[in-house]
Amino acid sequence: MSEAILLDGSSLTRAQLVAVARHGASVALDQTQLKRVQRAADFLAEKVSCGEPTYGVTTGFGSNADKLLGAHRVRDELPGSRPADGTLMEELQHNLIITHAVCVGKPFAAEVVRAMLVIRINTLMRGHSGIRVSTLEALTAMLNAGVVPVVPEKGSVGASGDLAPLSHLAIVLLGGGEAFWHGERVSGAEALKRAGLTPIRLSFKEGLALNNGTAQMLATGALALDALEHLLDTADLAASMTLDAFAGRSGALRSEVHALRPHPGQVDTAAHVRGLLAGSTLVDIPYHLVPRFKSWTAEAWSEADDQALSFDIGWDWVPASQRHGREAFYRRFLPFKGGKKHQPQDAYSLRCMPQVHGAVRDAWAQACRVFDIELNAVTDNPLIFPDNADAPFIEEQVISAGHFHGMPLALAMSYVKAAIPVLASISERRLNKLVDPATNDGLPAFLTGNEDGTDSGFMIVQYTAAALVNDLATRAHPASVYSVPTSANAEDHVSMGANEARHVMEMVEDLGHVLALELYTAAQALDYRQEMLNAARRLARRGGWQALAAKVANAPREGQPHYEQFVTEVQQLADALTAADDFHAGTRVRQAHAILRQRIAFLHRDRALDGDIAAVCAMVRQAAFRAAV
């Protein structure tokens, strides 16, 4: 992106954050707002020169807040001591950063670290933190130059903000720690040198301004929410393809239905799925038109182009003696049992898509509301109000508060964390219905012909989905309910929001895998459903009722009772199939199916599926279906 995103502390959006974090956009600082930044820094310097005691400036931190800094170093009087450079106040800020950079684990991805940097810069632009303009410009230069500090994933308790991970950000500014430079992991000093930057020395409260805030949990959570937004649409797409593959029912999606229970996510999901299914000739198809799968035999088809089919089809005729009490039904539907069960509603995993997917959408929307507020919030401590000029005491201008506490973000992430396994679970249930011959409405078991008994088809695809769902469920317990006090109980209640957001980011990835597996399976099922119906349609057009009658079991022979009735009814079935247009899925479902088939072929016989699975997971991760959703 060529145009820099202007940061003023009040207007940063999630889209802009993603542009910087994932797409390399640069940032610029609003010059008018920088005057407020400098005003706060000048105010702080003035108060220090007057000898006013100020938390985190002339006192220690946390449980050391009762320790006032003296005029000189006591340790200088120790035998053999060497005078140190700088003032005690500068040393305090420096030591805050180098002693707090203690995270462990693998480094965060570059996109998370870049998001942390832009969040920190934006909040400091509000002018309530006491940081100097020069220090803020140095932080901005590091981001724009492409220096990515190494920030290990684990170490924040989410209050006082993300102290440890943010210290890993700031330590590179001081020439310490480690950073990635064009993907190479080097020392912080080396990364600055290669970028043409020089280390800085911190002044009053600047260490505290740099490491006291919610930037890690906010960055991780915001990027997770961005990824989840795409997966919400992908879930609707997978469900729509599955519904088409089932030749399911659309009544549960109707707008007047959802007007009676207008949860926003539910209404939006129903409308989205209706749009995805628009143009489908499979949804709401009459029961009697849908044949069931039968194993292929050499005698299954007589026409040359049909002989390439890897299946046979069939129906059962329902004799008049078995229609008692159901006469009204059979006046509307012909007495042929094929693939579709004669029932007026689909299973919950299909019928309740709007309610389940919609509830997850609402959880996502609530988290977005919280995170959008936090993107432009001041989250460090203490807060500086230099414009309170009439305040009799400094405590009314430098106010210790609790904006660093991550509980608003933590609870929002807890909500999303509980929602993710729900969306994965309903997806896996639909996948399972597709492969189970007891529930897949006439499709082949495990979606393969298996004429010789050697093929497993999609059997183990469902195993993987089940394993992922279980793993997601076991990770869904909220971290935010387990506060572990820190800093000698000065920080006696913490949010654990950083853990919560990190868990959500990891879980979103596995949710994408589950949805990819459903799409992969649904595409196979859709191919079977469309080909079976269109084969029946061709058969009726070419061979008339006699050719179709050969596919019907339980039919009387000529001269037997009810034969004339059977002939009349099978002629009606043939007429209905002949008159039907091509059977196909909704326009956007077909578009998604075509995108998938460009990478992954139909499974005629067993083959190694690892490449297929890797490909479809990559397609979901890379938003390959975005044009269809």
Respond yes or no: is residue 212 known to be catalytic: yes
- Evaluate whether 177 touches 192 at the Cβ level (below 8 Å): no
| Cis peptide preceding 167, ω within 30 of 0 | no
What's the rounded Cα separation, in Å, for the pair 217 and 50? 37
What pairing do the DSSP bridges indicate for beta strands 178-181 and 336-337? Answer: unpaired
Length of the chain: 629
Reference 192, options 175, 208, 204, 180; nearest CA is 175
The full 3-state SS of 576-614, as one line of letters, equals: HHHHCCCCCCCHHHHHHHHHHHHHCCCCCCCCCCHHHHH
Q: What angle do CA 573, 575, 580 make, to 5 degrees?
A: 100
C-alpha pair distances (Å), 247 with each of 122, 283, 350, 408, 586: 51, 5, 11, 44, 11
Structure tokens at 75: 């340790």
| Residue 287 falls in the annotated catalytic set | no
How far is 27 from 203, CA to CA, in rounded Å?
Answer: 24
Alpha helices in 155-214 (DSSP H): 163-173, 188-194, 206-211
602 catalytic, yes or no? no
d(CA 36, CA 38): 5
* C-alpha distance from residue 203 to each of 210, 264, 294, 344, 378 (Å): 11, 49, 79, 72, 20
Distance CA 353, CA 242 (A): 11
| 238 Cβ neighbours under 8 A, 6+ residues apart | 427, 430, 515, 518, 519, 522
The 3-class SS string of 39-82 reads: HHHHHHHHHHHCCCCCCCCCECCHHHCCCECCCCCHHHHCCCCC
Q: Which amino acid is at 486?
A: T
Among 151, 166, 167, residue whose Cα is nearest residue 99: 167
95 is catalytic: no
Q: Which of 100, 274, 288, 588 is catalytic?
A: 100
Given 122, 212, 381, 440, the catalytic residue: 212
235-259 residues labelled b (16+ CB within 10 A) or e (exposed) = bbbbbbbbbbbbbbbeebbeeeebe
Marked catalytic residue, from 348, 482, 563, 602: 348
**How far is CA 150 from each of CA 107, 121, 142, 274, 281, rounded to the nearest angstrom?**
6, 18, 13, 46, 54
Q: Any catalytic annotation for residue 405?
A: no
Contact assessment for residue 120 and residue 169, using Cβ atoms and an 8 Å cutoff: yes
Q: Which long-range contacts (CB under 8 A, 24 or more apart) does 50-54 make?
A: 52/394, 53/394, 54/205, 54/382, 54/394, 54/398
Could you report how far apart the first and last alpha carbons of the chain are, in Å? 25
Q: How far is CA 337 from CA 100, 105, 344, 529, 546, in A?
A: 70, 59, 15, 15, 18
Q: How far is CA 168 from CA 62, 174, 289, 449, in A?
A: 19, 10, 65, 57
- Active-site positions read 55, 100, 212, 348, 351, 404, 491
